[in-house]
Amino acid sequence: MDGYVRRERAPLELLDDEPVGECSDAEVDEEELNDFLMGEALSGAEPRQKRRHSFADKYLRKLMRRKQRANKRMVQKSIAIQRKRRRRRTAAHASKLTPQLEKLMQDATTQYLCGNFGDAVKLLKELVRRAPGLHDPFHMLGLIYQEEYKDPVTATGYYLLAAHLVQTDLELWRRIGEMSQQIGNIDQAIYCFKKCLKTSEGEPNEEANFALAMCYLEKNDHHNAIKRLHLLFQIHPDDALLLSELTKSLMAVGDKETLLGVLMTFYRSTGNIDVATSACQLQINLKLYSECVEFVTTVTDALQLDILNVPMDMLVSYAIASLHGDSFPIKELNAIWEAEGVSAHRYYAVANAIANKCQETALKWFKKGYSADDPETVNAMLPEHAIQMARALVMVDKDHETAVGILQTVLAREPTNSQVIILLADILGDAGKHSKADELLARLTTTDLDRLKMIQKPIDAEERVSEIKSLVDAVQSLVLECFSIVHLRPDPCILLVKDGMRDSPGFASIMEEVNLWIDRFVRVVSDCELDTERTYQKLSNDRLIKSHAEEAVSLEYMDVRKEVGKNYSFLKTKKDLGLQSVEDIVGWNGYENLLMYASALMATAGRAREGVQLLEIVANNRKRYKSNTDITERKQLLSTVEELSYHLSCFGGIYKVALVHARGELAKKGSLKRYGMLLATGNLAKAALEPLSSSSEKDALLENRSWIARQLLQKPQNYELLMLAGHYCTMSGKWLFAIEEYKRALIQRPNDSVAALCLATSYFNSLGSKTMECTQHRAKDTKKGLLLGMTFLQYSIKLRTTQTSTHPCHAIFAAECQYNIARAMHFLNLVHMAVPLYEQCINTIRDAEEEFNGIESSDVIECPCVICYMSRRSGHGFPHATSEVTGGKFVWNNERKQILRAAAYNLFLIYTSNKNTAQAAGSRHVAHNAKHEIHFRLNRGILGNFAPINAHSLPQRQARALRSRALVAQAEEAHYVVSNPKTAADWPPKHDHGEPMTLEKCKKIMYDLNALEMHRMRNARKFNVLRLS
């Protein structure tokens, strides 16, 4: 112990790790105990010298430390488990009282009795130093500081030490809790009262529970206070004090159901008529009208009272409950009308209940309680009362002036009440005061609009249930009639068969039934989806009312009606309103299937826009659900609804909604496949062919360009984003920027022929750009751009040849490559090289047609439309895939014809531009007119890269024809890049590193291109061959 120096601790750290045992002078280091208990006050002036250890002791300690570290690693987990299971050790343990310590305790007691409190404190501290496990010295120190020194804070600290040494002293814990409560240390008081919640016999300690509840109330922790008070109320259901405190807490949290049960329990125990009156008012607030009538009848029978002799508040509640039923309580209403001293808010409550039945009678009751000269009656009018009275004044008396005055008075008290603002603006607008009405409406915010009561009343619960069940039963037969055969599929489903069945009378009758079913479905589901708005509106309005009555804690009718807690749950409020949504009737899976069938039927009937709007409402409402129940089912429904919305919006051409869902795929799956497909098809792809300044979809394109730029900052290595950025630069004519984006994309995927082709076209298009023309070394840059363009074009051809060598239609892909090479020569105005390449492309296709024996393939393609999506998800086995548009068949039936027509048309342009009409007219190829070719190129995609140079064309406009069709599509037929093995350049092109590209190498490439078909060109026709300078 001589060499062991313990660190200084706080007083409560005594309770952690002192060993159990006898504490005496022989066993305790005095200096250590002084530092441990009293700090520096009793510690020695000079510290002890550290004892020297021998070599053996040092070596032994070293071995022990190694062993301890090894054991610590091996049993660390088991120690953690034992600590969890083991009860926390207290600060100190009881020490044995030796004769010396007993004498010291007697001396301290004698000094205390003689009034020598200072000496007594010194002796007690000495006793604590020697025996820190004794509780009597701490208790006496606390007593001295409390009674004599009037220092309750220090006294509480000593009492706590004593209580921890003897934890069974429940009275001491309660006393410490009361002292802590008096000095304002509520947290410490709660801790102490929790130690004595039960007596030694195990029974609840009522005083400690009540004191603990009061501490919770001081901290505004009403939930824990309710637990303590409710426990005591179950023991004493007739205690008025408990009822009062419990009522305050329940009203603060808005738990009206529990409060009603408490009031009913107290009434059954005491028969108190005032509590029964409060229970009636609460039943009216909870809209339990039939229960209120029954309860009032029970009370009058039990007390043998006539209904007219009950308290006025109970009579008012009974009248209001009867008005919401089938009866009209004329006798009770007459009694209230003729009674004296009835407060204004009672008249308003009755008038508000009568307003739904008779506006004239309601206005009489409002006028009975209202007086413009009496501030009490004006202040007693709630906003909903003012709205009903103003409406009655306008409808019955046509008194706009009084209605405006009442609403302005309420609006001065509550300037943010949106309902009052709307009604006042309507009345002022009817009176011709449009400027004032507009000024009022300008004060509304989006939050105010959420509180507006513009929602229609819900369909009756029984009608809603029967209608939904009827829809579920009817949809099965409709789905079987519409989707069991593919002949009734609409465009653009790829399973479409144009045989005229959709024009038959039978199909017309089916569509009539489908439209009727859709009308019923939209009506019911739209009404059910409004339940979310109705619930949030109720919560918002109730909380707004509560904010104006936070100080009220009595059981007055108006106060109880205003009180709604902030923790009132979404589902609880929905249940109180008596609302049942579709998922509550048919379940989450049933609602999911119903939405799938409805989406497919809407697509068939041509009502896709209406379906997308409804699906977006369903998705937004499920995202606003504030409940922890059915989380898995709700997420599954939300996922299905988003998929249906995407497929249906694509089906109906609503590309803006589809793009929003496609963007989300990047965050969820890290893919932009859907996004690229949307940009490469439909209106966006057609609009992108025009200059961005005059594009019909300029706003949409600019918005998506900005989104791509933002995403690229976060993911600079994403291939799809890089390709998209390059395409948008191409669309804007920023060829140098496009080159940089395509370079980075090609670095990410070196074997992607699309990126190589896009990079090559960007180099070619940059030859005539303004940026290139303004450079100082224009000739050098032009040569470099031409050389790099040819290099990357040859590299893309090499990749395309390798990738399509085993394809059944490899001849078509070979023609495709020849077309692209010819198109490049055509773009560079090397028509003497373009013409033989075009002819070679056409001859390759003609030869393939002669040798064609059909394509046999077992592959099928699943249609992505919403109808086929429903067919895959449902268990009906509807057709949803086809083999007619698989890779080989699609290339042969579509791409073959397009390449052939494009080559023939470009030959026609070359002949006519050279004024060689004889050759153009005598050509054995079919030439298409310009109008057809322009439409063809809008859908052609990558083949529109290089614009022909002729007198009737706009090179810069046609050069922008690079489209994003092959942006992220992985299919072979998505782009047209084929190889020529004689002129293929090696990869990588060394223009940035290593050996630079030279003019001689470019000449060699051009010579190889020229040598391919020079003999055919000389035999066919004569051209002036231009030399490369």
Report the candidate in 177, 203, 197 with the shortest Cα–Cα distance to residue 189. Answer: 177
Cα dihedral 324, 327, 328, 331, rounded to 10, equals: -120
- Which two three-digit tokens encode residue 474? 């009817």
Q: Which residue has the higher pLDDT, 132 or 514?
A: 514
Whole-model pTM: value is 0.52
Q: What pLDDT, on a 0 to 100 scale, did the predictor assign at position 517? A: 92
pLDDT by residue (tens digit) across 960-1005? 332 222 222 222 322 223 333 333 333 333 333 334 444 454 444 4
**What average pLDDT does the segment 303-318 reach?**
87
Tally Cβ neighbours within 10 Å of residue 819: 28
Q: Is the pLDDT of residue 550 over 80?
A: no
Among 90-99, 580-589, 958-967, 1012-1021, top mean pLDDT goes to 580-589
The per-residue pLDDT for range 756-800, each reduced to its tens digit, is: 999 998 898 888 765 554 444 556 678 888 888 888 998 988 898
The domain covering 195-270 belongs, at the CATH homologous superfamily level, to Tetratricopeptide repeat domain (1.25.40.10)
Of 286-295, 539-548, 884-893, minimum mean pLDDT range: 539-548
Q: How many CB atoms lie within 10 A of CB 789?
A: 23
Q: What percent of the chain has pLDDT over 90?
A: 1
Judge whether residue 238 has pLDDT over 80: yes
The Cα-based distances of 653 to 445, 640, 683, 969 in angstroms read: 34, 20, 8, 20
Report the range of poorest mean pLDDT among 90-94, 192-196, 233-237, 683-687.
90-94
Please tell me which of 245-254, 455-464, 924-933 the model is most confident about, judged by mean pLDDT.
Answer: 245-254
What would the mean pLDDT of 379-394 be, rounded to a whole number? Answer: 88
Contact 390, 427 (CB under 8 A): yes
Domain ranges of the chain: 11-85, 195-270, 461-653, 723-1019
* Spatial CA neighbour of 372 closest among 416, 400, 407: 407
> Residue 452 has what pLDDT?
53
Residue 510, C-beta contacts closer than 8 angstroms, at least 6 positions apart: 478, 481, 482, 488
CB-based contact 785:944 (threshold 8 Å) = no
- CA–CA–CA angle 68, 73, 77 (5° rounding): 120
Q: CA of 590: how far to CAs of 465, 583, 587, 611, in Å?
A: 13, 7, 5, 18
Residues 845, 840: Cα–Cα separation, whole Å: 9
Query: In sequence order, which residues have a C-beta less than 8 Å from that of residue 411 and are 6 or more positions away?
Result: 417, 420, 421, 424
Backbone angles phi, psi at 835, to 5 degrees: -60, -50
- Confidence class for position 54, pLDDT limits 50, 70, 90: low
Q: Please state, as a whole number, how many other Cβ atoms lie within 10 Å of the Cβ of residue 65.
A: 10
**What is the average pLDDT across 243-263?**
87
Instruction: Give 421's contacts (C-beta < 8 A, 6+ positions apart).
Output: 411, 440, 441, 443, 444, 448
Predicted confidence (pLDDT) at residue 886 exceeds the cutoff of 50: yes
851 band by pLDDT with thresholds 50, 70 and 90? confident
Give the amino acid at 954.
L
Mean pLDDT of the chain: 74
Distance CA 813, CA 211 (A): 89
As a whole number of angstroms, the distance between CA 695 and CA 717 comes to 30
SS3 817: helix
Q: Which residue has the higher pLDDT, 528 or 686?
A: 528
Write b or e for each residue in 91-104: b if 16 or more Cβ atoms lie within 10 A of its Cβ, otherwise e: bbeebebbeebeeb
Residue with more model confidence, 774 or 127: 127
SS3 204: strand
Structure-token pair, residue 242 = 């408990």
44 pLDDT higher than 60:
no
- Contact partners, residue 181, CB within 8 Å, separation at least 6: 189, 211, 214, 215
Is the pLDDT at 525 greater than 60? The verdict is yes
Q: Return the amino acid letter for 223.
A: H
Q: For residue 861, list its beta bridge partners.
A: 882
Tell me the C-alpha to C-alpha distance, in Å, between residue 719 and each of 678, 708, 745.
17, 12, 5
What is the SS3 assignment for 675? Answer: helix
Does the pLDDT at position 646 exceed 60? yes
Calpha distance 404→393 (Å, rounded): 10
| pLDDT tens digits for range 578-631 | 788 888 888 888 898 899 989 888 888 888 888 888 998 888 888 877 666 678
Q: How confident is the model at residue 76 (pLDDT cuts 50, 70, 90)?
A: low
pLDDT of residue 484: 80
First vs last C-alpha separation in the chain: 101
Tell me which H or E stretch contains 54. Answer: none
Helix axes 631-652, 655-669, angle to 10 degrees: 130
Q: What pLDDT shows up at residue 941? A: 30
pLDDT of residue 626: 64
User: What is each CA distance from 522 to 466, 478, 479, 594, in whole angstroms?
Assistant: 15, 16, 17, 12
